[in-house]
Structure 1
Amino acid sequence: MSNAPQKASIENTQLKDIVSHAKEYGFVFPSSEIYDGLAAVYDYGPNGVELKNNLKRLWWQAMTQLHQNVVGIDAAIFMAPQTWVASGHVAGFNDPLVDNLDSKKRYRADVLVEDKAAEYEAAGQQDRAADLLATLGRLLTDNDLAGVKELIVSEKIVCPISGTCNWTDVRQFNLMYSTQGSAVEGDAAQIYLRPETAQGIFVNFLNVQKSARQKVPFGIAQIGKAFRNEIVARQFIFRMREFEQMEMQFFVRPGTEEEWYNNWKQARRRFHEAVGLAPEKLRFHDHDKLAHYAKAAVDIEYEFPFGFKEIEGIHSRSDFDLTQHQELSRKKQQYFDNDVNPETGKPYGNYVPYVVETSVGADRLFLATLCQAYQEETITEGEGEKEQTKTRTFLKLHPALAPIKAAIFPLVKKDGMPEKAEEIFNSLRFDFPVIMEERDAIGKRYTRQDLIGTPFCIVVDGQTLEDETVTVRHRDSREQTRMPISELRAYIGQAVSFARIFEKL
């Protein structure tokens, strides 16, 4: 008998606990919550924005500081409408949608079928689930929308709201948000909120290559917002309508793309492991079917509480993007390579570079990091008759990523301890994000910092006033170390430096 339903229930509970934790401790809030929120849109709270910014800074430095041939840009969100014609988004950036006539609710047809397949898997009918997904894939590849509707009806898939199978025809829906390119209605062409950040890199290829004096192979990195009008947005911040991408397009000489694709594939996996994601929770998923322009594509997936899902894609895109923009803009996107081809003895000359893309979702990496860090363990406190067992919850974040690096606590609010704690706080706050707390018992203060992932708690007590030493309590082990105040900056700095992560790359 399969234990899949029980496992799914446990996983759903884990996700609910993480979502609740994220809100209660200032990581992620539903957007516009006082107005009942906006579906698939979230705000990052005080601790969440620090963690996310740390992840973005880490990615940026890993790309641009550790590679002499990778530089960055920050392209505009609005772009000329022709950009999205050349990229294929105007014609082909679609999802198959279907409405239920009774509930008036709209759904992605492919998600309805995938959810049915998940039900079969949970019931131990893996073969039936596989056949269903294979049929769906074939129909979508053939753009057979009538066949997709027949599949929904034949599988007796009902609307979760109305419970009926009264469906409209399936039709394609473009996911790009559009707006007017002028303040005066009707005066300007329709423009789009970008659905990806990559095109801002492609249209700036020659600007960057010339101004940064780069030779192929070289990369262009960018972090930025993207927008997709997702009809079905689920699983917390995993799929949102407004999200942030961290992308790097690496331009290479044709014929070398396979080598560079494999290099970046391994490099990006090492990055995720160095950040703290467990190796056993990461896997490569090669694309079975490639876009017509792609030579290879793989996803790095992380095992979330809701299963393995993509956090980053690595794609060998050939010369498709630059060639498309070259043809539509009528501006050459070629690079002159004066390196000598050993086969001909002459320079390689002009060519349109091929591209290897790495694209990671900042929000997905944030969620993976939060899921990995969320820990519950059973601990024993007290001795003898006072001994008790309880569950301890904490965030086991890498110290370099933690929102707050250290919390300074006066043991009591008297005898000069608060003043000494404030002195230590002031000596550290220009180097690290630190806080000082006086309220509540010391145990409760420890717990609060554990719940937001603070790696060190520094306690000022009576001995501090005598010998200028403090107790440093470590989040993961709960062990305590006595050290001079004068050593705190170096001790914390060594632990929270990005260098501790870069050493693993």
Structure 2
Amino acid sequence: MAKQQHALAKIVALCGNRGFVYQGSEIYGGLANSWDYGPYGSSLKQRIKAAWWKRFVDTCPLNVGIDSAILMNPEVWVASGHVGGFSDPMIDCRHCRSRWRADQLIEDWNKKEDRSLNADGWSNEEYLSYIRENGILCPSCGKHDFTDVRKFNLMFKTFQGVTEDNQSEIYLRPETAQGIFVNFRNVQRTSRRKIPFGIAQIGKSFRNEITPGNFIFRTREFEQMELEFFCEPGTDLEWFNYWRAFSWQWLLDIGLSEDKLRFRD
């Protein structure tokens, strides 16, 4: 673990020194989990996005593209389940006041103990019981003094207009998919498409992560290149395999080594 952290620190320093990625707001002390892309980083990112768009939209007769708004009617997020269920299990250490995702705390501990266990979807009570029964310690201070587990909604809230009340409360989108779904009929009508077809989008999303990852690999502000493909019932597995192979080949074509890639089924 120490070797990995040392290697990552060297990568962060190299990216900063070479003009790829800078610490966000660095001259004012920085902002945790905030990163700015420098001249070479922004150029690289734009080229990757352009290559993706060309392969998945411009040269693919199956798909069309859109660019939807970041701010949407709050009812979109109610209907999609994000307001009620887009949350992570949060737990605090009373001793050092650090904050953790309960499932991540358990997963990291299991890795150290060489255990194989998937804690996704557990109830708050199951998370807390496992942490207590196994005496899992706080990674920051080494103490075992945690609060109860509670749900933490990951959406960033803001206000639209001049007043700050419940009526003007809206969210920064946590994903680009909903912008595709709410525009499905508009896209189908104006592009004269029939199923099967796909809608692609590149855009920023925002998630108020409890414990964001290292460097640019898990951030609160991030950019997605997303394709939602619509097909007839019963043909989904066939199309899944098609796009799985299509995406794999695109990654190889832009220069990634096959031995560095793996599927997550």
TM-score range, shorter chain: over 0.9
The 3 A distance-change label for structure 1 pair 241 and 205 is same
Match of 2:76 among 56, 59, 83: 83
Match for residue 215 of structure 1?
194
Match for residue 330 of structure 1?
none
User: Are positions 1:98 and 2:109 aligned together?
Assistant: no
Q: How far has the Cα of 1:10 moved from its partner?
A: 4.2
Match for residue 239 of structure 2?
260
Aligned partners of 1:39 and 1:62: how far apart in 2? 35
Structure 1 contact 71–221 (Cα < 8 Å) conserved: yes
User: Are positions 1:32 and 2:11 aligned together?
Assistant: no
Match for residue 8 of structure 2?
15
Aligned partners of 2:27 and 2:101: how far apart in 1? 28
The 3 A distance-change label for structure 1 pair 173 and 154 is same
Match for residue 240 of structure 1?
219
Match for residue 42 of structure 1?
35
AA in 1 matched with 2:110: A
SS in 2 for 1:96: strand
Q: How far has the Cα of 1:163 moved from its partner?
A: 2.5
Match of 1:227 among 203, 206, 210: 206
Aligned partners of 1:98 and 1:35: how far apart in 2? 30
Q: How far has the Cα of 1:92 moved from its partner?
A: 1.1
Q: How far has the Cα of 1:86 moved from its partner?
A: 1.4
Aligned partners of 2:138 and 2:6: how far apart in 1? 24
Aligned partners of 2:135 and 2:250: how far apart in 1? 44
Aligned partners of 2:207 and 2:100: how far apart in 1? 15
Aligned partners of 2:209 and 2:16: how far apart in 1? 23
SS in 2 for 1:43: strand
SS in 2 for 1:146: helix
Q: How far has the Cα of 1:152 moved from its partner?
A: 1.4
Structure 1 contact 96–171 (Cα < 8 Å) conserved: yes
Q: How far has the Cα of 1:9 moved from its partner?
A: 4.6
Aligned partners of 1:88 and 1:232: how far apart in 2? 22
AA in 2 matched with 1:226: S
> Considering only CA atoms, is the larger Rg found in Structure 1 or Structure 2?
1
Aligned partners of 1:218 and 1:251: how far apart in 2? 6
Higher relative strand content: 1
AA in 2 matched with 1:255: G
Structure 1 contact 70–218 (Cα < 8 Å) conserved: yes
CA offset digits 1:432-452 (Å, max 9, x no partner):
xxxxxxxxxxxxxxxxxxxxx
AA in 1 matched with 2:220: R
Aligned partners of 2:258 and 2:224: how far apart in 1? 23
Deviant stretches of 4+, over 4 Å: none
Q: How far has the Cα of 1:187 moved from its partner?
A: 7.2
Match of 2:66 among 54, 64, 73: 73
CA offset digits 1:76-123 (Å, max 9, x no partner):
001111111111111111100011112122111111111112222xxx
Q: How far has the Cα of 1:25 moved from its partner?
A: 0.4
- Output the TM-score relative to the length of structure 2: 0.95
Aligned partners of 1:207 and 1:187: how far apart in 2? 30
Alignment of structure 1 residues 37-436 onto 2, 5 Å: 37-120=30-113, 126=114, 129-130=115-116, 133-134=117-118, 136-137=119-120, 140-141=121-122, 143=123, 145-186=124-165, 188-286=167-265
Q: How far has the Cα of 1:58 moved from its partner?
A: 0.6
Match for residue 335 of structure 1?
none
- Output the TM-score relative to the length of structure 1: 0.51
Aligned partners of 2:166 and 2:148: how far apart in 1? 35
CA offset digits 1:150-178 (Å, max 9, x no partner):
21123222223332111100011110011
Aligned partners of 1:187 and 1:92: how far apart in 2? 19
AA in 2 matched with 1:86: A
Relative contact order higher in (CA < 8 Å, ≥ 6 apart): 2
AA in 1 matched with 2:151: Q
Aligned partners of 1:27 and 1:12: how far apart in 2? 19
AA in 2 matched with 1:285: R
SS in 1 for 2:194: coil
The 3 A distance-change label for structure 1 pair 187 and 153 is closer
AA in 2 matched with 1:239: R
Any stretches of 5+ residues in structure 2 without a counterpart? Answer: none
Aligned partners of 1:12 and 1:40: how far apart in 2? 16
AA in 2 matched with 1:92: G
Q: Percent identity?
A: 48
AA in 2 matched with 1:70: N
